[in-house]
Structure 1
């Protein structure tokens, strides 16, 4: 994955990432509110060793002994012999073992100072426990552990140099710190889920995904239109619509495809159903006819024909009647509109579509159409479901593959391309449909509205009049 892939993931999943971050912070804040506040109080003790002599060497020996003794004294702080006295002094309803969990003692290296910390749910009690532990610890060390035999006084002295004060604010929970950690954890979880979704999602979302799935060029992108079922022929219904301009851009790119070929006959197919191949073929045919080219739209989907319904022509007689010799090609071709666009419907649904489409009659029909028209567009069934499109592609210049953003999966597109390569058919390019108009996967034509000037409208009207004169000459 490249940097732009990660940026696309952030752009596509920013709501998820933001939601997970907020959820992490809110969870940490709620956890902090549910915790019982605890207070911490600390006291400091100074340990020294008296010497019978006031010489420097004796003082140094005493200080060195005190430093060594402090290491052992720290472990005595939370011992039962000390904490039992604390429980008796403060009349606590607990045991020495439980109380030891709220007591800690530490001493810096090479130091004679011991710091005692006590935590409790009550601030006054925390200070009382810390002071009581210090007092009883000093008494145990001086009068019991380090007391010499007989009536002699102990050489070890433990004095409190900083008694514990009542804390004014709880030491736990640390709400700001917990919220910060929660935000970080939520952000990390959101990023992880976003990357995982992107890795596991094999659907095609953008032109970049097409380039990653196949080496075939991207001929164009068609934006998603929620009203596509209501007005499938957008180039005819709303010529100034940005989506209609996408088909004109596709038309321009198609004019540079196979420029040296003897004919320009194309099979339009897709990897699976519901990817918009039929509407794409119909709109492309209308866009090509706008330039004055002679175009024929052939419904080669003999299993689920749609072209006749989209174009609004009679579909009872068509391609199947020509292939079985029941009708002549010139009799079933239907002119659409006022231009040079003709439609060849599928006709009746046969029991053997693949055999008819792969017959010599189909080859002769496509050859005749290629001689009579500038462009031949054949709407064929999906490649991965049946072999019809692959069979027809052998009689045409090549295939135009339609892939729907958010629907077509990369393995499906790759499998369809490999199927064409296996039979030697040529794939001219991929047309991406249903592209979102906003977001990281949006297509350029969704960003502005297209409107033709009056001169262009008048020119187009003159083109239609010239087409009528041309048809009169042809007749």
Structure 2
């Protein structure tokens, strides 16, 4: 993993990492708080070897002997004989094994000194044990080393004596609260990083543009930031109030026009792999952005199960797409103008009744309706149901021919998007690109997609293709006129 991968890891999982780190520190503090304090008393013992009338050579040999004995006595000091004598003398409520685990002895290199540490939950008891340990051990050593030397005048005498008074440490030696907290903090951080790595590897949700670019070969048309709480009312008076959101929709409208540019009016299908709410919201914002730029636009709700598009735009109509296709309503009667000053109209009803199933759409009917709408607008946007859950999505996509796929950040999974792309391409549908909606990052400016060289157009090319004007006649939302001289001949 490179530095960029670690930054991405922290970006998406910093909350979990921070939470696990804090939990680790809290666990360390709880463990430290639950443990009773343990006190320590320290003592030093000196091993001496003396002989009557010794000269310097014998003194040197005695010093070496005392160092060798001191090494052995560190083990003997915690033997059963010494500890049993201590427990009997002090009346301690401990077993020999318990005492052995609380007394440690060490011999500094090249010395005849033995350092002894006694630990106990009671400071007074630790001090009493350390004070009684020196005389008890001295008696055992004297009995073991000097008992057979009675009457031997030149034999060395080995003794053990306590050097200084027993020292009781001022503070408990355990628990180490600071150490336990730091240890818990480190363990929590390690666990959080491990969880983040596992989550990064196993999570198939699409989170940002990098996931889209790495997961499929479909171009990314735009990235839309996450909407506000009043999502259902965002598009009733215009694009969302946030400048970043509004600019993101305007850039999406521009890249969509470039990606789908060709002579004459254009039609798009906006759909998603599984979730349908985001497709309606993206289509509404895209239609408003196109219309505000001067492009006559019609947006059609082909989902049929819900009146999501009408709710977003704040319009109501008794006529739906199914009514127009079945001949129950005229096209001009079903179209509703969004605002008088913006060339945007909508074809959407309130959806089917709960518990009822709408009749499936037919490709020929949708294609004919699309041609009729393209006589009235330069851009026609049809909102289709999810590709992987409703067959109507494929029918509408085949009738129109080109699709914009909407993926929702942290909700759409990459396998669903890949399957959706494969299904649409298998029936000959062109995928203009994908739109990432609901991005949780904080962009200072909108995402601008790269335009490939063959589709890059300058102003002269655009004017030459469009002949410097709209493909449709002058927009008139009041009477719904299409091309001049054609509105009366248009069948209802």
Q: TM-score, normalised by structure 1?
A: 0.80
User: For 1:248, which of 241, 247, 250 is the aligned residue?
Assistant: 250
The equivalent of 2:484 in structure 1 is 474
Give the conservation status (yes or no) of the 8 Å contact 1:234–1:283. no
**In the superposition, relative to structure 1, how do residues 193 and 363 fare at CA in structure 2: closer, same or farther (>3 Å)?**
same
Is the CA contact (8 Å cut-off) linking 2:319 and 2:334 kept in structure 1?
Answer: no
Equivalence for 1:45: 45
Once the two structures are superposed, the pairs formed by residues 104-115 of structure 1 within 5 Å of their partners are 104-115=104-115
Distance in structure 1 (CA, Å) of the matches to 2:444 and 2:206: 17
The CA distance in 2 between the partners of 1:125 and 1:331, in whole Å, is 98
Aligned partner of 2:230 in structure 1 is: 227
Residues 427-436 or 341-350, more deviating: 341-350
Match for 1:159 among 158, 161, 165? 161
CA drift at 1:158: 2.3
Counterparts of residues 15-30 of structure 1 (less than 5 Å): 15-30=15-30
Q: 1: CA distance between counterparts of 2:173 and 2:408?
A: 58
Structure 1 Cα separation of the partners of residues 22 and 351 of structure 2: 60
Q: Tell me the equivalent position of 1:316.
A: 319
**Following the alignment from structure 1 to structure 2, what is the Cα–Cα distance between the partners of residues 156 and 140?**
11
Show the counterpart of 2:366: 362
Contact between 1:401 and 1:430, CA under 8 Å: does it hold in 2?
yes
Greater CA deviation, 201-210 or 54-63?
54-63
**Is the contact between residue 281 and residue 379 of structure 1 (CA under 8 Å) also seen in structure 2?**
yes
State the 1:12 CA deviation. Answer: 4.7
- Look up the SS of the partner of 1:314 in the other structure: coil
Alignment of 1:209-220 (within 5 A): 209-220=211-222
Q: Which moved more, 1:99-108 or 1:160-169?
A: 160-169
1:185-205 Cα shifts (integer Å, max 9, x gaps):
333344444444555543333
C-alpha displacement of 1:365: 3.5
Count of matched residue pairs: 450
- Cα distance, 1:379 vs structure 2: 1.1
Q: Any conservation in 1 of the 2:298–2:373 contact (CA below 8 Å)?
A: yes
1:409 aligns with 2:419: no
Residues 98 and 334 of structure 1: is their aligned pair in 2 closer, same or farther, counting only changes over 3 Å? closer
How far has the Cα of 1:40 moved from its partner?
1.1
Task: Tell me by how many angstroms 1:56 deviates.
Answer: 5.6
| Partner residue, 1:103 | 103
Instruction: Label 1:27 to 1:340 Cα distance change in 2 as closer, same or farther (>3 A).
Output: closer
Taking a change above 3 Å as real, the CA distance of residues 24 and 81 of structure 1, as seen in their structure-2 partners, is same
The one-character-per-residue Cα deviations of 1:405-442 (angstroms, maximum 9, x if unpaired) are: 23222322222222223333222122222334xxxx23
CA-to-aligned-CA distance 1:65-99 (integer Å, 9 cap, x gap): 43333332221101122223323443434443332
- The equivalent residue for 2:432 is 428
Contact 2:51 2:156 in 1 (8 A): no
Q: Aligned pair in 2 of structure 1 residues 468, 259: CA closer, same or farther (>3 Å)? A: closer
Equivalent-residue separation in structure 2 for 1:260 and 1:352 (angstroms): 34
User: How far off is 1:133 after superposition?
Assistant: 1.4
Structure 1 window deviating more from structure 2 (373-382 vs 418-427): it is 418-427
1:16 Cα shift?
A: 4.5
* 1:373 aligned partner: 377
Q: Is the 8 A contact 2:272 2:387 kept in 1?
A: yes
Residues 63 and 421 (structure 1 numbering): CA distance in 2 closer, same or farther, change over 3 Å?
farther
The answer for unaligned runs of 5 or more in structure 2 is 447-469, 486-492
Q: Is the 8 A contact 1:221 1:433 kept in 2?
A: yes
Q: CA deviation at 1:343?
A: 3.4
Partner of 1:460: none
Alpha-carbon distance in structure 2 between the residues aligned to 1:234 and 1:413: 32
- Asked if residue 137 in structure 1 is aligned to residue 141 in structure 2, the reply is no
SS in structure 1 at match of 2:382 = strand
The match for 1:120 is: 120
Residue in structure 2 matched with residue 208 of structure 1 by the alignment:
210
Deviations 1:122-146 (A, max 9, x none): 3333233223212221221122245
Question: Structure 1: where are the runs of 5+ without partners?
Answer: 447-462
Alpha-carbon distance, 1:213 to partner: 3.1
- Partner in structure 2 of residue 147 of structure 1: 147
Conservation of the 8 A alpha-carbon contact between 1:275 and 1:433 = no
- 2:312 and 2:162 map into 1 onto residues whose CA distance is 96
**Does the alignment pair 1:399 with 2:403?**
yes
CA distance in 1, matches of 2:212, 2:275: 18
Secondary structure (helix, strand or coil) at the match of 1:208 reads helix
Q: CA deviation at 1:389?
A: 1.9
Deviation at 1:119, TM superposition (A): 1.5
Alpha-carbon separation, structure 1, partners of 2:168 and 2:140 = 25
Q: Which residue does 1:258 correspond to in 2?
A: 260
Tell me if 1:341 matches 2:351.
no
Q: Is the 8 A contact 1:36 1:121 kept in 2?
A: yes
CA contact (8 A) 2:376 2:483 kept: no
TM-aligned CA deviation for residue 24 of structure 1: 3.4
8 Å Cα contact 2:50/2:157 also seen in 1: yes
1:370 Cα deviation (Å)? 4.1
Task: Tell me the TM-score normalised to structure 2 length.
Answer: 0.78
Paired position in structure 1 for 2:182 = 180
Deviation string, structure 1 residues 192-247 (Cα, Å, up to 9, x no partner): 444445555433333333334333232223331211223444526x6776533332
